[in-house]
Amino acid sequence: MELKTVKIEKPADMNFILGQSHFIKTVEDLYEAIVQTAPAMKFGVGFCESSGPALVRFAGNDPQLIDLARKNALELSCGHAFIVFMEGGFPINILNTLKNVPEVCQIFCATANPVEVIVAESHQGRGILGVIDGMRSCGIEAEADIQARKDFLRKIGYKL
């Protein structure tokens, strides 16, 4: 077995969700879940089929985001992994909906941070072991940092 890291390639401020499911209909079910939950959100889904023809399946409503999802899914090539890139919304807008899609097994991350995916590769195939989401912690927040966090959440409308 060989361990590798696969960097998710995306614009610096773009949010995405990386997860794992168990069935080919995942790509259609994720599409339906997103459009029903956040109809104005633009998105692309890439899904790594892990049997049969083992293709990267895809869906979405924005050609550039679909292309980004397809490319990253192919680079990952990990069985039943899916990746969703989005604009006009945040992971928090759709995360619980995606978790409730019956074939979704787990979510590895939902972020706009730079991400490296830790992948194990054997003679059979590839699988995601985990992710490195963003950077290492630099310290503990001070009073000014607490206030900046609270102000930011109110500025973007997540707190009153």
The answer to whether residue 48 sits within a structural domain is yes
Is residue 68, in this structure, part of any structural domain at all? Answer: yes
Domain membership of residue 18 (yes or no) is yes
The residue segments making up the domain with residue 37 are 2-138
Distant-in-sequence, close-in-space partners of 149: CB < 8 Å, separation ≥ 6:
141
Q: What predicted TM-score, i.e. pTM, was given to this entire model? A: 0.93
Count of domains for the chain:
1
Domain containing residue 116: CATH number: 3.40.1520.10
Q: Quote the distance between the C-alpha of residue 143 and its chain's center.
A: 32
Alpha-carbon Rg of the chain, whole angstroms? 17
Inside any domain, residue 35: yes
Contact 136, 47 (CB under 8 A): no
One-letter amino acid of 77: S
Q: Is residue 125 part of a domain?
A: yes
Q: Residue 124 CB: number of other CB atoms within 10 A?
A: 9
- Over residues 51-97, the pLDDT tens digits come to 999 999 999 999 999 999 999 999 999 999 999 999 999 999 999 99
